[in-house]
Structure 1
Amino acid sequence: MVIQLVIRANQLVRSFLLPVIQLQRPSLRNTISDPHNCLMPTAPPLLDLLPVFNAQPGATLLLSPEWIIVGASEDYLVATLTERDIIVGQHIFDAFPDNPDAPEANGVANVRASLEQVMATKQPHDMDPQHYDVPDRARPGHFVERHWKPRHTPVLNAAGEVQFIIQSVQDITASRLAERQLRESQAAEQVARADAYAQRQRFYDALQHLPAQIATYHGPDHVYQFVNPRYQQYFATQPLLGRSIREVLPGVAKQGIFALMDRVYQTGESFANPEVEAWVDFAGTGHPQQVYLNLSFHALRDGQGCIDGLLDFSTDVTEQVRARRQLEQLNQELETRVQERTREAERQRQQWEQLFLRVPAAICIFDGPEWVYEFVNPDYQSMFPGRELLGKPLLEALPELHGQPLVGILRRVYDTGEPFQATEVLVPLSRTAGGPVEDIYFDLTYLARYDEQGRIDGFVTYAHDVSEQVRARREREALQAERLAAAERRALEREELYQVFEQAPVVVALLRGPEHLFHYRNPAFQSLFPNRFLIGRLYAEAMPEIVAAGLMPELDRVYTTGQPYFGTAVPFVTTPPDGSAPHERYYDFSYEPHRENGDIVGVSIIAHDVTEQAPHYLVKIESNAVFVRARRRNPPPTPILVRYGSRYWMGHLVYTGRPVLQLYDFQDGGKLGVSAGGKARNGAGVNDALALDQGHEKRELAEARLAKLATAKHTDTSGLRTADNDLVLSLANVRNDKDFTYLRLKLRNTTTIDYAVDFTDFELVENSRKKFLGKKKNEARRSLAPAGGAESQTIPARATGYLLYAVPLYAATDRGHLEITLREKFGARVLVLKVPSKVINTADAI
């Protein structure tokens, strides 16, 4: 209607609008003129029609042919945020320039083209919707976004020339913004869907390549929804998806695994247990195989938080368990856990993220060529407490990695897609921000991540901190190396010491352990036993002479207490290497503890021959008695000093050629001991009137009867038995005649040592009924010289021997007895056997 009004008013322009314009804007008088220069007012101007134009409904603008603004409706002014006084008289493009901040909007150019077309064709022109911002009068230099649908209508004069152009516009800003918002919303939705799908695909690809057996189950029957290749390869001949695990593995029901899955599904409490033994029939042939699995089950929840499935994240550790049980070394940890697959992209992405968050291992995902931390699970973050990782590039979050070999490894994985897997990789890092850099060892796995076009856009990191294990192993290795070096040093020292011992003229041996095992002996020691093997044998077994000499307790005491033991001029019978007869030698020796690392590990023996410097007599103290024996025949007299308490006595030892028993009572001033009856105790010497060498015929008779006694029946006499150190002596037979008593003694040797009988003393003891001073019975003793007996007679180990003797017979009452004293030839043992006179007197004669 506005356009029709303008057309009808065309003929009034010359008579109305021009004078009005000239009156309002003198500057326009020369611009708008009569074509013939003869425009003259023929009637009074109608000044009230311009306000009518300005007040007409609709957004309209009146332009001159030079596009100068002549008038503007109120709706136009409201729509363009301007005032009439400001824009009237301005060129349209000066009043409404282009917005420099919206380069994509070209309103000025489009409007100019439309105006030019109207001027040329003198026909109205409808423009397409235009993005044409208007100046913000409240904020100079700023613009307000506007969208218009313009129309330009020419106003012609009588000659058909364009006198004015009416611009009418429709503000479509609200609809255009709504359309744009809709488009942007749709585009954002598409981007979100694509991103969610890409994220889901990335997690899916990561699950496909993780070194673990991963499956998801749906519903209370645990129906397979997803299995990764490592899981499926165990079931090469069986399809899994859509089937219940109870149907696939019926034989596992009795092993309690299904009960564990049911409990996790019902309670939502996760289950994880390493090295679970299971017998599984993967092929369905009825022949299960043994496997060890690091099992973990976790509940999966739907969008409402309700449990609708399970995640099975397991690792086959069969080979590691078997290797550890064989080598006692396996200490593997559960490596990876969690992944799932759902129908809706966003829910699946969140679920995969939750799975990675729960995995009991350090996992992170890097995005783009800057390797920005896109995902970090709690275990990974816990390795760097207080350090911000998420959203930062790797080298910015952990700047200490600059220049480290790990950066080259990551670049190769990102550039080539080649996976990387290694154990005990050294990565110097700071665990806390600003903290010290420390050596950290990881078991690492890097897997490239691909986008939907198959291009690498990141990588997944799986890390396990094994620093403690590496340090512990290296400490053990260092300790072992140190111990080995110490052992080698000790071996070298021993070898050097052995070289010295090999040349030494002394006797040297080394015993190890509490059982005293021969570990070393030098040639001088071995020469004492030319045909005896020693190394590796027990000392007590290889050296029965030492056992017989009673030195084993001293050896044990040295090993137990660490106190050395010294022996002086100890006699020892040796066999010369040339095979000549054994002879007696004398040695000074020592038993000393042998230590290694401060601990006693054995006993060293060092001895040297002092035969040439040895004294002439061997003196041994037993209880309150002193026993003296010459070391060789006819030694010279030897001075002797005897101390008893605080008193000393001097005397001489003289060799007599026969055993002599002289008793001295040092409590009585050192006088020769006498019996209670006042008689001296004298030994039987070679000049004794009753000695057998006085009568040749008696000797022959005695020897004949002794030979007969040797074949007599054994009549072991009850009560006549004595034992000492596993030697048992008893009286087997007794015979008497008018001159002699014939004795057959039985000696049973239960030891592992051969014993030689040195000499035998016989004494006839007679007890009186009277008491001397009311203290004890009187006792009279008489030594007897025996005949018979073999010289150096030997009783072998674990054998029984017999000794035959004849002694002069004296008439004795039944109150007396015969004392028989036996001594070892190379030892200190003394056996005393008492034979009651009554037994002798009543024995049958032979």
Structure 2
Amino acid sequence: MDFFDFFINVPENIVIVSPEFKILAATDTYLKTTMKTREDILGKTFLKEVYQNPDVSFEENPVILSIERAIATKKIDYLDVLRYDLEKSEEDGGGYETRYWEASHTPVLDEHQNVRYVIQNTHDVTEREQARKAMKVSEGKFKFLTDAVPQLIHTNDPDGSCNYVNQRWLEYTGLTYDQLMGMQWLDTIHPEDLPSLNQRRQQAIAAQEEYQMEARIRSKDGQYRWHLLKSIPMREETGEVVMRVGSVMDIHNTKIMVQEMLEANEQLSTLSDQLQLAYQQAEDQRVTMEHLIMQAPALFATLKGPEHVFTLVNFHYQNLFPKRELKGKTIKEALPEVIEQGFVQLLDNVFETGIPFVAEEIGVALDRDNNGQLVDAFFNIIYQPLYETGKVAGIIVFGYEVTDKVSLRKELETYKARP
């Protein structure tokens, strides 16, 4: 096999050009990649008479500039990732096909150290760049969703080291992103709560299980508020934990209310055995209701279009209506009882204006068993507009039921109002 046969069979995208940018030779792989023949390209001006980019002038073409640098410096010049679309044949429909490339330009010198020609070696990195762009879009969606919810959301490495926090963390603590990374987020925990939190964390990490507990977290004004912290391990198909996802919910007001109720019951417990029994019953009821409040699941759904069609409904949201199918139906079709209660108008306003709607302890009468009997319920909710290409395309619904919390507060008020 002579040198030419050897060269054209090299399995690389290689083209050789003269200092005047005339194409001198190319490998078969290069011709296959660019969908050209040797007759199409040999002797023609590179990127001007062939492979031209209609959107970039020859003189300003970054590939030409890289070749010129290689000629001027007589050293290899590497070109960063570049989008360079290839013209498709008429048999393939014509037009251009999007491609991304990495390239190097190697000058070959003669015995007088003058550049005889330049070897361009290119690598098609289209799949890698498209995957990178898709990953960036996915990360952007994840950040948008975590920033949209009213909770403090974070992710951790398997060892518990923080590697991401949502905007709520930054707004609540007043700290920067970097100040919460690694184990620094633990600096926001109240010193009295930190030992027990660390012990529970380490046990859960070692056992590769989820954990949940209460702790006080410092706000940007230096005040500590009670929060419910929950961390769940995310596993690969092999079962190996690859990361942990954490959520933090503010329960300060409920915690204080429960503590006040406990203190009131403790004072009454000293009056008599009868009051002691009443206290114990009240305490049992408090613990039961506190458990319901603390374990209240988050509700999540997405509504698409001006008709508010359910496109995603999580388990806890669906569990509100066990005898109904929500997904694929409009809000009016799925939940007719909320139409007259004004919730469709609220959704319409968010969709039309792009202004989020946030409400605490909002009441709604629900036909939970789909039997025509309405039951009052209360929720903390947020309707967050969902944008696509700069326009509102749907609404994210996030919240959690606080019916037990509202009922408990009313009971406490009645209890305190007794003579």
CA deviation after TM superposition for structure 1 residue 266, in Å: 3.3
| Secondary structure in 2 matching 1:447 | strand
Matches within 5 A, 1:340-739: 360-433=297-370, 435-467=371-403, 470=406
CA deviation after TM superposition for structure 1 residue 399, in Å: 2.7
For normalisation by structure 2, the TM-score amounts to 0.52
Change (3 A) 1:471 1:451: closer
Match for residue 301 of structure 1 among 231, 235, 240: 235
- Contact kept? 2:162, 2:182, Cα under 8 Å: yes
Report the counterpart of residue 205 of structure 1 in structure 2.
144
For normalisation by structure 1, the TM-score amounts to 0.28
Match for residue 318 of structure 1 among 240, 252, 257: 252
Task: Give the Cα–Cα distance (whole angstroms) in 2 for the partners of residues 388 and 191 of structure 1.
Answer: 37
Report the counterpart of residue 216 of structure 1 in structure 2.
155
Aligned residue identity for 2:400: H
- Contact kept? 2:232, 2:245, Cα under 8 Å: yes
| Secondary structure in 1 matching 2:345 | helix
CA deviation after TM superposition for structure 1 residue 383, in Å: 0.8
Task: Give the Cα–Cα distance (whole angstroms) in 2 for the partners of residues 469 and 281 of structure 1.
Answer: 24
CA deviation after TM superposition for structure 1 residue 294, in Å: 0.6
Task: Give the Cα–Cα distance (whole angstroms) in 2 for the partners of residues 247 and 199 of structure 1.
Answer: 25
- Contact kept? 1:424, 1:442, Cα under 8 Å: yes
CA deviation after TM superposition for structure 1 residue 380, in Å: 0.9
1:297-352: per-residue Cα shift (whole Å, max 9, x none)?
Answer: 11123465421221121123335433553466997789999xxxxxxxxxxxxxxx
Change (3 A) 1:196 1:366: farther
- Contact kept? 2:355, 2:385, Cα under 8 Å: no
CA deviation after TM superposition for structure 1 residue 218, in Å: 1.6
Report the counterpart of residue 196 of structure 2 in structure 1.
256
CA deviation after TM superposition for structure 1 residue 471, in Å: 5.9
Aligned residue identity for 1:249: D
Structure 1 unaligned segments of length 5 or more: list them.
Answer: 1-174, 184-189, 338-358, 485-846
- Contact kept? 1:265, 1:307, Cα under 8 Å: no
Change (3 A) 1:289 1:381: same
Task: Give the Cα–Cα distance (whole angstroms) in 2 for the partners of residues 266 and 179 of structure 1.
Answer: 59
Report the counterpart of residue 271 of structure 1 in structure 2.
211
Report the counterpart of residue 531 of structure 1 in structure 2.
none
Task: Give the Cα–Cα distance (whole angstroms) in 1 for the partners of residues 347 and 197 of structure 2.
Answer: 40
| Secondary structure in 2 matching 1:436 | coil
Is residue 2:168 matched to residue 1:230? yes
| Secondary structure in 1 matching 2:178 | coil
CA deviation after TM superposition for structure 1 residue 255, in Å: 1.0
- Contact kept? 1:441, 1:470, Cα under 8 Å: no
1:200-231: per-residue Cα shift (whole Å, max 9, x none)?
Answer: 544422311322211111241x3322111221
- Contact kept? 1:422, 1:444, Cα under 8 Å: yes
Q: Could you say which structure has the higher helix fraction?
A: 2
Task: Give the Cα–Cα distance (whole angstroms) in 2 for the partners of residues 209 and 292 of structure 1.
Answer: 22
Aligned residue identity for 1:399: P
| Secondary structure in 1 matching 2:318 | helix
- Contact kept? 1:211, 1:336, Cα under 8 Å: no
Matches within 5 A, 1:66-145: none
Aligned residue identity for 1:325: Q
Aligned residue identity for 1:443: F
Report the counterpart of residue 504 of structure 1 in structure 2.
none
Aligned residue identity for 2:199: A
1:421-447: per-residue Cα shift (whole Å, max 9, x none)?
Answer: 2244332332234x1231332213223
Aligned residue identity for 1:294: L
Change (3 A) 1:266 1:478: closer
- Contact kept? 2:152, 2:249, Cα under 8 Å: yes
Aligned residue identity for 2:145: A
Structure 2 unaligned segments of length 5 or more: list them.
Answer: 1-89, 99-128, 265-285
- Contact kept? 1:446, 1:459, Cα under 8 Å: no
1:140-171: per-residue Cα shift (whole Å, max 9, x none)?
Answer: xxxxxxxxxxxxxxxxxxxxxxxxxxxxxxxx
What RMSD, in angstroms, separates the aligned Cα atoms of the two structures? 4.6
1:242-295: per-residue Cα shift (whole Å, max 9, x none)?
Answer: 84216863986961323323333333322123xx24476989xxxx96542211
- Contact kept? 2:158, 2:242, Cα under 8 Å: yes
Change (3 A) 1:429 1:322: closer
| Secondary structure in 2 matching 1:269 | coil
Aligned residue identity for 2:150: P
Report the counterpart of residue 813 of structure 1 in structure 2.
none
Change (3 A) 1:269 1:333: same
Change (3 A) 1:467 1:230: closer
Change (3 A) 1:334 1:228: farther
Change (3 A) 1:269 1:389: same
Change (3 A) 1:192 1:379: farther
Task: Give the Cα–Cα distance (whole angstroms) in 1 for the partners of residues 415 and 256 of structure 2.
Answer: 28
| Secondary structure in 2 matching 1:309 | strand
- Contact kept? 1:270, 1:299, Cα under 8 Å: yes
Change (3 A) 1:391 1:268: farther
Change (3 A) 1:232 1:394: same
Aligned residue identity for 1:256: S
Structure of greater Rg: 1
| Secondary structure in 2 matching 1:261 | helix
- Contact kept? 2:210, 2:230, Cα under 8 Å: yes
Matches within 5 A, 1:782-793: none
Task: Give the Cα–Cα distance (whole angstroms) in 1 for the partners of residues 156 and 256 of structure 2.
Answer: 30
- Contact kept? 1:417, 1:447, Cα under 8 Å: no
Task: Give the Cα–Cα distance (whole angstroms) in 1 for the partners of residues 341 and 197 of structure 2.
Answer: 46
Task: Name the % identity.
Answer: 23
1:123-144: per-residue Cα shift (whole Å, max 9, x none)?
Answer: xxxxxxxxxxxxxxxxxxxxxx
Task: Give the Cα–Cα distance (whole angstroms) in 1 for the partners of residues 293 and 94 of structure 2.
Answer: 52
CA deviation after TM superposition for structure 1 residue 473, in Å: 6.5
Aligned length: 274
| Secondary structure in 2 matching 1:395 | helix
CA deviation after TM superposition for structure 1 residue 457, in Å: 1.6
